[in-house]
Amino acid sequence: MFAGAYATGIVLPGGINRWFNIYQQLYSGRIPVNDAKMNNRGDSLLLSLSFDHYRKFIRQAAGYNTLKNFFSTFKSKDDASAVMTAFVNGLEKSKGLEDGVDVADSYASLYETLPDLASQMLTNIKSNYQRNVRTGNKRGIAIYNILDKLFLSADPTKNINLTKELGIPPVYNVPFDNFTNEKERSLRKCFFMAMKMA
């Protein structure tokens, strides 16, 4: 939908056109910080866009495993750390769950490529959970509890059972039993489409 709208010149709401161009560059494996006015730095990119939709951008960069490269363009590691702190903070204030989903989607990439930032992210999740407990914010408690359990489950040594804790199947690994029937056979259905070439 967005690709078609962007290609036809339709202006999308909320600065999506700016970010769409950046997403296109992410898909091709480039981090779009080579603009002279941004001094070839990712932090300058976020500042130039007033952090508009930055959670979406970070999620996309994480999804394409380009987050490590993006953060390497920051002026300092402290700036990257500050962005990730802001990324996690205040999720209970958002109207929907989209910002929380962006945070959840980003963690696996951080866990694998930037373990220090992943550890900081988990610490921030725990402190936000405690802050929401102190203020009695049920929405915040729920969001940060779910994120805490999800993130801890990425580490197999923590033995977090998401089915028991949250009532959802495992996120970071799928047991082979999930692919077998009652006779312990793995069955696959393959569908092929026949096309006539003119």
Specify if 100 maps to a domain.
yes
Specify if 189 maps to a domain.
no
- Give how many domains the chain has, as a whole number: 1
Q: Are 144 and 93 in contact (CB under 8 A)?
A: no
- The CA distances from residue 23 to 3, 27, 60, 94, in Å, are 10, 6, 7, 23
**pTM score above 0.75:** no
Specify if 198 maps to a domain.
no
Specify if 185 maps to a domain.
no
As a 3-state breakdown, the chain gives helix, strand, coil percent values, each rounded to 5, of: 65, 0, 35
Specify if 81 maps to a domain.
yes
Q: What does the pLDDT look like over 144-166, one tens digit per residue?
A: 999 999 999 888 888 888 888 88
The predicted structure's pLDDT at residue 168? 82
In the chain the first and final C-alpha atoms are separated, in Å, by 29
- Domain of 143 in residue numbering reads as 2-179
Residue of 124, 110, 103 lying closest to 154 (CA atoms): 110
pLDDT (tens digit, 0 to 9) for every residue of the chain, 198 residues total? 333 333 334 343 444 455 555 555 554 545 554 444 456 666 666 666 656 667 887 888 788 888 888 788 778 888 888 888 888 999 999 888 888 888 888 888 888 888 898 899 999 999 999 999 999 999 999 999 999 999 998 888 888 888 888 888 877 777 777 778 888 888 777 777 666 665
The predicted structure's pLDDT at residue 130? 97
Specify if 197 maps to a domain.
no
Q: What span, in angstroms and rounded, lies between the C-alpha atoms of 146 and 45?
A: 31
Please return the burial class of 127, using the count of CB atoms within 10 Å of its CB with bins 0-12, 13-18 and 19+. middle
Specify if 71 maps to a domain.
yes
The tokens describing 55, both together, are 């959670």
Collapsing DSSP states into helix, strand and coil, what is residue 180?
A: strand
Specify if 196 maps to a domain.
no
Q: What does the pLDDT look like over 35-46, one tens digit per residue?
A: 444 566 666 666
